[in-house]
Amino acid sequence: MQTVQTINELKHIIGVNKEKTIGFIPTMGYLHEGHQALLNKAREENDFIVASVFVNPAQFGPNEDLDRYPRNIEHDTKLATEAGVDVLFVPTPEEMYPFESGITIQVGELSTKLCGESRPGHFDGVLKVITKLFHLVQPTKAYFGQKDAQQLAIIETFVNAYNFPVQIVRVPTVRETDGLAKSSRNVFLSEQERAQAVHLFKALQLATETWKKSKNVDEAIAKGKAHIVENTSGKIDYFAVLTYPTLQPVSEQADQLLFATAVFFEKARLIDNILVETKEV
């Protein structure tokens, strides 16, 4: 595996390999088995694999955890090598954003709910980096986790609306054995919080089961919220049910419903979700 830090080096490598199918996995590093699932799927489906590790300042708000976001490039290099990545792109912020163009990408309505509501500008920053990375890597397929369901919905819509020549591949959420979704931010949990954190998933399961029985969204949300309040010290940011990937209020026509929650613990804000196929219920 080659690790490259500059855009010029990356462009050169992509040029040399442009006849191959390229699988791309953008990440913020501190890689775990969730990321590994994306890398493995990409390895199965493409000739050449590019992954990136970049803690993107553009997607963090002023009071968020940019400075203390966990980093371990030695570990990431080892994991990416073992997963069969060909090129690991690890740029600095200066390399990615050498000048301020004054031109921005604004997500609009899809970013007014769920995480977008409490993280203004977050998804604009995600699309800023994704646009640059897609132009540089020119992937055939790019891999994203269902764990970040709103991000995935926005990227799918963006790529579709603006004709990016890439196929977006959804990868299911990888969980710890007790059900907690794997996340780089789980390291910020205290021992007590770690034990409680599984209740995000349990609350989502309770909400989906409730909805399957009664088809009553308000009842499902109320039960899910109550479960989190009763079983954790965390503060609920949101607990919501929306159509997917359109993120609209629940309607009869929707094929997929997203049950999603975000909870603030002392040093980490955790998110999780379950996607329900309505036709299978």
Binding part of the chain for ligand AMP, among 16-24, 169-177, 207-215, 268-276 by CB under 6 A, reads: 169-177
CB of 219 to ligand AMP, least distance (A): 28
Site for ligand AMP in 102-161 (CB under 6 A): 144-145, 147-148
Distances 251 to 178, 215, 226, 274 between C-alpha atoms, Å: 32, 11, 24, 17
Is 166 one of the binding residues for ligand AMP (CB under 6 A)?
A: no
Query: Which of 35, 122, 199, 227 is the catalytic position?
Result: 35
Nearer to ligand AMP, 113 or 175 (CB): 175
Binding part of the chain for ligand AMP, among 130-138, 175-183, 241-249, 267-275 by CB under 6 A, reads: 175-183
CB of 255 to ligand AMP, least distance (A): 21
CB of 245 to ligand AMP, least distance (A): 14
Q: Can you tell me which of 4, 28, 83, 129 binds ligand AMP, judged by CB under 6 A?
A: 28
Q: Can you tell me which of 171, 180, 242, 257 binds ligand AMP, judged by CB under 6 A?
A: 171
Q: Do the beta carbons of residue 259 and residue 242 sit within 8 Å? A: no
CB of 169 to ligand AMP, least distance (A): 10
Nearer to ligand AMP, 171 or 197 (CB): 171
Quickly list DSSP for the chain.
Answer: -EEE-SHHHHHHHHHHTTTS-EEEEEE-SS--HHHHHHHHHHHHH-SEEEEEE---GGGS-TTSSTTTS---HHHHHHHHHHTT-SEEE---HHHH-SS--------GGGGSSHHHHHSTTHHHHHHHHHHHHHHHH--SEEEEEGGGHHHHHHHHHHHHHTT-S-EEEEEPPPB-TTSPBP-GGGGGS-HHHHHHHHHHHHHHHHHHHHHHHH--HHHHHHHHHHHHHHH-S-EEEEEEEEETTT--S--TT-SEEEEEEEEE-SS-EEEEEEEEEGGG-
Count of residues that interact with ligand AMP, criterion CB under 6 A: 17
Nearer to ligand AMP, 186 or 196 (CB): 186
Binding part of the chain for ligand AMP, among 9-17, 28-36, 95-103, 265-273 by CB under 6 A, reads: 28-36
Q: Looking up tokens 């010029």, which residue turns up?
A: 8
CB of 65 to ligand AMP, least distance (A): 12
CB of 126 to ligand AMP, least distance (A): 9
Site for ligand AMP in 38-77 (CB under 6 A): 38
Q: Do the beta carbons of residue 123 and residue 153 sit within 8 Å? A: no
CA–CA separation, 231 vs 77, rounded Å? 37
35 is catalytic: yes
Contacts with ligand AMP by CB under 6 A lie at: 27-28, 34-35, 37-38, 144-145, 147-148, 171, 173-174, 181-184
Catalytic residue numbers read 35
